[in-house]
Amino acid sequence: MHEMTKRERVEAAIKGESVDRVPICYYNHRHDVESSPDALLEHILHQNQLYGWDLIKVMLRASYYMEAWGCTYAFDPAQGPKLRDYVIKKAEEYNNLTKLDPAKGPFGEQVATARRLGEALRGSVPYIQSVFSPLSIAGRLAGGNFGAEDETAAIRSFMESNPDALHHGLNIITQTLVDYVRLCVQAGADGIFYTTTAYGSFDVMTEDEYREFSLPYDIAVLEAANDAGGSINALHICRENIMFDLLEGCPVQIINYEATSARNPTLKAAAQKTAKALWGGMDQSQILPLGNSEMVAEQARHALDQTQGKRFILGPGCTNVNQTAPHENLMAMKNATLEWSKSRLT
Ligand SMILES: [Zn+2]
């Protein structure tokens, strides 16, 4: 088979067609560059030169949405944004949220990043913009700390005490995100990386609760990305014990999740549940940052064997907010995939 471009390779994976080699995409936060658009762009382009992943997930600082609605953060270059103050202290305050113009403020800054990245890449690599679900944003506006135990506590109490106010807030956030993702795609992004953060897990809510407080808003944002012409939209179902069967139906082309968790479906099982492309297979918490090269290569081969390299993008199933995988492990992941593809796909 002729050598495909990165875009052709990712598009073929999405369609379930043959690929010359299995596409790979690693991503992780780099808190030290995420507060400065210039430093972030330089970092992305440097990583692109160094590793040449087939798809770029634009890693934006996790706080930008909440900054736009008035939350304040201190930026720790090692650990990322630390919440200082938040805007929703009681559920009724969701009624005060107003729709934002995403061409301005922190949203506008990310649209500009999408545009500048597109200008620098000139179509050589597809790239997707990271977007949190409205429910995730609503939780953090109410003081939920990224990755903390208490992330969902406020939402759980508002679901009981004042669901109408919560829905009002979710509607406002959704309307803003719908406009925002449209601008991102118009700026050149190939789609979005849409994450459910803590909420798409049975550990946090029931499927019925998710259907009421998240799913309609998820679908609205994802449909906007598709309608704007985004053709590479990934749904990140974060965490463990995930609602795979429910979320599989979302309008996306790719599903990214922690396939290495024993509490989530294996890649093999997930591939039987969906016709969408899967992205994952590498453990971002232990093997990638802490394992040796042989452990990384072994895990990559295991993921490739399970999927036969079909409808598949190899990479992590989530970010590791504390630790990036070392260079030799990223190269081991890449080389194992190239070797597997060479022996199994030709
Ligand atoms: Zn995640």
Across the range 231-251, mean pLDDT stands at: 98
CA of 27 to the centre of ligand 1 (A): 11
CA of 132 to the centre of ligand 1 (A): 10
Q: Which amino acid is at 98?
A: T
The predicted-structure confidence for 81-126, as pLDDT tens digits, reads as follows 999 999 999 999 999 999 999 999 999 999 999 999 999 999 999 9
Q: Which of 148, 147, 240 is nearest to 200 (CA)?
A: 240
Q: How confident is the model at residue 229 (pLDDT cuts 50, 70, 90)?
A: very high
CA of 318 to the centre of ligand 1 (A): 4
Quick one: pLDDT at residue 151? 82
Q: How many CB atoms lie within 10 A of CB 215?
A: 21
The predicted-structure confidence for 270-328, as pLDDT tens digits, reads as follows 999 999 999 999 999 999 999 999 999 999 999 999 999 999 999 999 999 889 999 99
DSSP 43-93: HHHHHHHHH--SSEEE---TTHHHHHTT-EEEEETTTEEEEEE-S-SSGGG
Q: Is residue 315 within 8 Å of 24, Cβ to Cβ?
A: yes
CA of 342 to the centre of ligand 1 (A): 31
Q: How confident is the model at residue 33 (pLDDT cuts 50, 70, 90)?
A: very high
| pLDDT for residue 346 is more than 90 | no
Q: E-strand spans in 197-295?
A: 234-237, 254-257, 277-282
Q: Is residue 74 within 8 Å of 31, Cβ to Cβ?
A: no
CA of 104 to the centre of ligand 1 (A): 27
Q: E-strand spans in the chain?
A: 56-58, 72-76, 80-85, 127-132, 191-195, 234-237, 254-257, 277-282, 312-316
CA of 316 to the centre of ligand 1 (A): 9
Q: Which of 166, 157, 32, 51 is nearest to 97 (CA)?
A: 166
Mean of pLDDT over the chain: 96
CA of 225 to the centre of ligand 1 (A): 20
CA of 212 to the centre of ligand 1 (A): 21
Alpha carbons 221 and 318: distance in angstroms, whole number: 21
Alpha carbons 17 and 312: distance in angstroms, whole number: 10
3-state secondary structure (DSSP) of residue 204: coil
CA of 220 to the centre of ligand 1 (A): 21
CA of 320 to the centre of ligand 1 (A): 8
Q: How confident is the model at residue 335 (pLDDT cuts 50, 70, 90)?
A: very high
CA of 234 to the centre of ligand 1 (A): 12
CA of 343 to the centre of ligand 1 (A): 32
Q: How many CB atoms lie within 10 A of CB 109?
A: 18
CA of 111 to the centre of ligand 1 (A): 22
Residue reference for tokens 């991102």 = 184
Tokens standing for 289? 């940052």
CA of 196 to the centre of ligand 1 (A): 8
Q: Which of 237, 322, 340, 326 is nearest to 280 (CA)?
A: 237
Quick one: pLDDT at residue 146? 72
CA of 3 to the centre of ligand 1 (A): 32
Q: How many CB atoms lie within 10 A of CB 53?
A: 22
Percent of the chain topping pLDDT 90: 95
CA of 219 to the centre of ligand 1 (A): 19
Q: Is residue 252 within 8 Å of 276, Cβ to Cβ?
A: yes
CA of 46 to the centre of ligand 1 (A): 24
CA of 284 to the centre of ligand 1 (A): 10
Alpha carbons 148 and 335: distance in angstroms, whole number: 35
CA of 237 to the centre of ligand 1 (A): 7
Dihedral (CA of 330, 333, 339, 345) sign: negative
Q: Is residue 173 within 8 Å of 116, Cβ to Cβ?
A: no
Alpha carbons 334 and 315: distance in angstroms, whole number: 10
Q: How confident is the model at residue 260 (pLDDT cuts 50, 70, 90)?
A: very high
Alpha carbons 130 and 58: distance in angstroms, whole number: 6
Q: Which of 213, 199, 112, 114 is nearest to 164 (CA)?
A: 213
Q: Is residue 149 within 8 Å of 237, Cβ to Cβ?
A: no
CA of 1 to the centre of ligand 1 (A): 35
CA of 195 to the centre of ligand 1 (A): 7
The predicted-structure confidence for 114-172, as pLDDT tens digits, reads as follows 999 999 999 999 999 999 999 999 999 999 877 666 789 999 999 999 999 999 999 99
Alpha carbons 252 and 269: distance in angstroms, whole number: 19
Residue 226: CA count within 13 A, CB half-sphere: 13
